[in-house]
Amino acid sequence: MAFRIPSSWSRLRLQSHFAHRRAYAASARSTRTRLLSILAFTSAGGLTATYFLWPSEYRGAPTFRTKSISPSHFTPLTVISNEPCGSTLKLLTLKIPPEALPTPSDSPIGPIWSVFIKDDDIQVERPYTPLEGIDDEGNIKLWVKKYPRGEVGRWLHSKGVGDTVEIRGPLSTFPYTQGKWDEVILISGGTGFSPFHQLLHRELLQKQNNGVQTRFTLLHGSPSSAELPPSAYLQPLVRMADSNPERLRIRLFVDSLSDSATSPVPFSQLSAGRIGKHDIEQALGLGADSGRSWWRWLSRSQSTVQSADIHQKNVLILVCGPEPMVASIAGPYGRNFSQGAVGGALAELGFKAGQVWKL
């Protein structure tokens, strides 16, 4: 049978038919695309809402309730105390469950160490240093400041007795070796006092007769007397310094002495202003009273620390506090909060890397 060429009208009808089918197919594809887009958007929105609104474990590390505390996972702790100690400061006590306490087979925990605390609301973790490590009752105590833009600090301030806080740690902040240094200078600002109290509590208050002759000097600054460290932690150190000046010296600084709030120490024991180069010189026995200091061998002059002398002696300076303070005293942190170069007042005094550590 021969193929018959359709007429012009027939050709137009066929063209219209195929055009209609093509338009229908295109419309169907468009509809499917819109439906898939809506479903994808809805699913993404649902997942986003689930992530932010539905309670879930932190995605960076699991949570275990019956394993010993560890840097590899979070452990839920119970808040047993939340005490105000200033308008923006609180003292929190967290209890570690008995089954989560470190066992004798675990690596020993020595100063200075910290823990990460997770804010369950926004899934963010931040490091905090316990004031005394873990006490005999399985508690850790945190001195927490609430900053205007500090998410975790505000979240911790809102926690009441019986609430749960998850920690991950302990993690070493500084590998302190007992007896390695002859002189340790601790320079802190605000809650930067916490790691130094942990160290001094361990090395002096708990080991007063350990035979190690390292001498510690604490230079601490707070904006006001009301924001000095809690009396329960500051006073034992002050008494230790009074009775054992050959082991511990303390100088406390506040921005102004005009504050009328109750101070944990008499105003006569406070210095006005901020910690500077001259105060560090005095701590090293390089000031006007250097002739009476048993550390006068640190320098051959009254005003400058000779770099060679410092390297010959085991002198360590630890600095912890707000970034501007750390930068002024020891130079800014490096990239990603690495140590960076020694700068500021300590560089002017001749200190080098290995003698200074920024916490």
pLDDT surpassing 50 at residue 336: yes
In whole angstroms, how far apart are CA 278 and each of 68, 151, 282, 302, 336?
46, 36, 6, 11, 30
Distance in angstroms (rounded) separating the CA atoms of residues 279 and 346: 11
Q: How many helices and strands in the chain, by DSSP H and E?
A: 8, 12
Lookup result for tokens 């019986």: 162
Taking phi over 0 as left and psi of -120 to 50 as alpha, with beta for the rest, 179 belongs to: left
User: Mean pLDDT in the chain?
Assistant: 80
What is the structure's pLDDT at 208? 61
Count of residues for the chain? Answer: 359
Tokens of 312: 């010959």
What is the structure's pLDDT at 36? 45
Buried/exposed 72-97: b ≥16 CB within 10 Å, e otherwise: ebbbbbbbeebeebbebbbbbbbebe
In the chain, the amino acid numbered 18 is: F
pLDDT surpassing 70 at residue 77: yes
Distance in angstroms (rounded) separating the CA atoms of residues 19 and 185: 87
What is the structure's pLDDT at 123? 81
The answer as to CATH 3.80.10.10 being correct for domain 183-358 is no
The answer as to CATH 2.60.40.10 being correct for domain 75-172 is no
Counting Cα atoms < 13 Å in the Cβ hemisphere of 157 gives 17
Domain ranges across the chain = 75-172, 183-358
Distance in angstroms (rounded) separating the CA atoms of residues 356 and 330: 7
In this structure, what are the phi and psi dihedrals at residue 331, rounded to the nearest 5 degrees? 90, 155
pLDDT tens-digit profile of 96-131? 999 999 987 787 788 999 999 999 887 889 999 999
What is the structure's pLDDT at 286? 72
- What percentage of the chain exceeds 90 in pLDDT? 59
Q: What is the pTM of this model?
A: 0.77
- Highest averaged pLDDT of the listed ranges 85-99, 108-122, 206-220: 85-99
In the chain, the amino acid numbered 131 is: L
For every residue of 61-95, DSSP letters joined together read S-B-SSSPPBTTBBEEEEEEEEEE-STTEEEEEEE
pLDDT surpassing 60 at residue 8: no
Across the range 299-323, mean pLDDT stands at 65
List the single range of 44-53, 56-65, 160-169, 172-181 with lowest mean pLDDT: 44-53
In the chain, the amino acid numbered 39 is: L
Residue 187 · residue 122 · CB < 8 Å: no
Buried/exposed 18-53: b ≥16 CB within 10 Å, e otherwise: eeeeeeeeeeeeeeeeeeeeeeeeeeeeeeeeeeee
Distance in angstroms (rounded) separating the CA atoms of residues 83 and 156: 12
In this structure, what are the phi and psi dihedrals at residue 320, rounded to the nearest 5 degrees? -150, 130
What is the structure's pLDDT at 262? 65
Q: Alpha-carbon torsion 303, 307, 308, 314, what sign?
A: positive
Distance in angstroms (rounded) separating the CA atoms of residues 251 and 343: 23
What is the structure's pLDDT at 53? 32
